[in-house]
Amino acid sequence: MCLRYDHDSTVRQSAFDLWTNSSGISTLGLDGIHPWRSVRLVFVSDTQPISEAGRAALQVVLAHPDQTMLALDFDGTLAPIVDDPALAHVDPDALSALSRLGSLLGSIVVITGRPVRTAVRLGGFGEAEGLRSMTVLGQYGVERWDADGDHYDLPPAPPGIAQVNEELPGLLAGLGLAGSRIEDKGRAVAVHTRGLADPASAFDRLAEPIRELALRCGLTVEPGKNVWEIRATGIDKGDAMRAIVAEKDAQTVIFAGDDLGDLPAFEAVEQLRTEGIRGLLICSASHEEDALTEHADLVLDGPTGVAAWLHQLADRLTGNYG
């Protein structure tokens, strides 16, 4: 396992020494440094979590993979974040790892804020081999696709979305942010500031106007990485997680996410732990967002790190882990 400190030096330490002597992320020898804005930690070549709960969950996964549900976010976890959401795609290594794991685990689920048809298309899930057990939950669980039968469930858009689409361009122009990218998700509308000269400042300036617009339209707002999403109230990834775990009768859950929108799913897994379900929480880390690191059992370096970890898990399950 390599722990890379991406300023000027590389630090190598055995996985056993690092993780058996650490109770959390703050004990990795970087105390006083904000790890995901000042440095980049890259965990390579080991599937071992850093927390006791995570280690216990992984052991159950390895012993009973057929009772395990692997759930993942899409953007920032399986797919690298890009300026234009329409150009996103799942990391090819991640897709091949999922294909390997499809026959090894009880089920594979993608939980995303994207429209489910978009996620399936950009992910290439419909064409990939070995993913018959996959379910994709779009729009935070409101929409659904099951690979088995290629079946879609697509409820109608909530009232208020049409009004948001009508008012949003004028709102952005009035703020001098007409260059923001508007993404119509059908059941939700996202405003991306990533392509602007100062994305973070634009994101902050939009906070109140976006919330006021959502309130007028009877909707709610979800912040993300340089993106505000307006959508229906009362739905989040936590609700989707609890429902799909119960449906699949999973005894162990792995969930990987990267953003504030994934926090409810993290909290749902933490609650499921109190009910006897084993849970392993993975943060796909980046320099833009660190809200999940303190909740995670394992922190990986973005979609590339997630893909590598998934392959390592498949190696462990097939006896090819060296």
* d(C-alpha 240, C-alpha 270), whole Å: 14
Per-residue pLDDT reduced to its tens digit, 249-284: 999 999 999 998 899 999 999 999 999 999 999 999
Is the separation of the CB atoms in 76 and 286 below 8 Å?
Answer: yes
pLDDT at 233: 80
Query: What long-range pairs does 85-93 form, CB within 8 A, spacing at least 24?
Result: 85/114, 85/181, 85/183, 85/190, 85/192, 86/183, 88/122, 89/122, 89/123, 89/124, 90/122, 90/123, 90/124, 91/303, 91/304, 91/306, 91/307, 93/304, 93/307, 93/308, 93/311
* d(C-alpha 178, C-alpha 171), whole Å: 8
Name the CATH code of domain 52-155+235-318 (choices 3.30.390.10, 3.90.1170.50, 3.40.50.300, 3.40.50.1000).
3.40.50.1000
Residue 212 CB neighbour total at 10 angstroms: 12
pLDDT at 145: 98
pTM of the model: 0.76
Is the separation of the CB atoms in 223 and 206 below 8 Å?
Answer: no
Detail the DSSP E strand segments found in 275-318.
278-284, 298-300
Segments in the chain below pLDDT 70: 1-48, 288-289, 321-322
Which residues have a Cβ under 8 Å from the Cβ of 104 and sit 6 or more positions away?
Answer: 65, 314, 317, 318
234, burial (CB in 10 Å: exposed 0-12, middle 13-18, buried 19+): exposed
Name the CATH code of domain 161-231 (choices 3.30.70, 2.30.30, 3.30.160, 3.30.420).
3.30.70
| Angle at the Cα of 244 from the Cα atoms of 239 and 250, rounded to 5 degrees | 125
Which of the 8 DSSP states describes residue 319? Answer: T
Which residue(s) pair with 182 in the sheet?
Answer: 191
Nearest residue to 239 via CA among 259, 267, 214: 267
pLDDT at 320: 74
User: What does the domain layout of the chain look like in residue ranges?
Assistant: 52-155+235-318, 161-231
How many helices (DSSP H) and strands (DSSP E) are in the chain? 10, 15
| Angle at the Cα of 16 from the Cα atoms of 26 and 60, rounded to 5 degrees | 90
* d(C-alpha 315, C-alpha 180), whole Å: 43
The yes-or-no answer to whether 52-155+235-318 and 161-231 have a common fold is no
* d(C-alpha 68, C-alpha 277), whole Å: 10
Which residues have a Cβ under 8 Å from the Cβ of 32 and sit 6 or more positions away?
Answer: none
pLDDT at 48: 65
Q: Looking at the chain, how many residues does it have?
A: 322
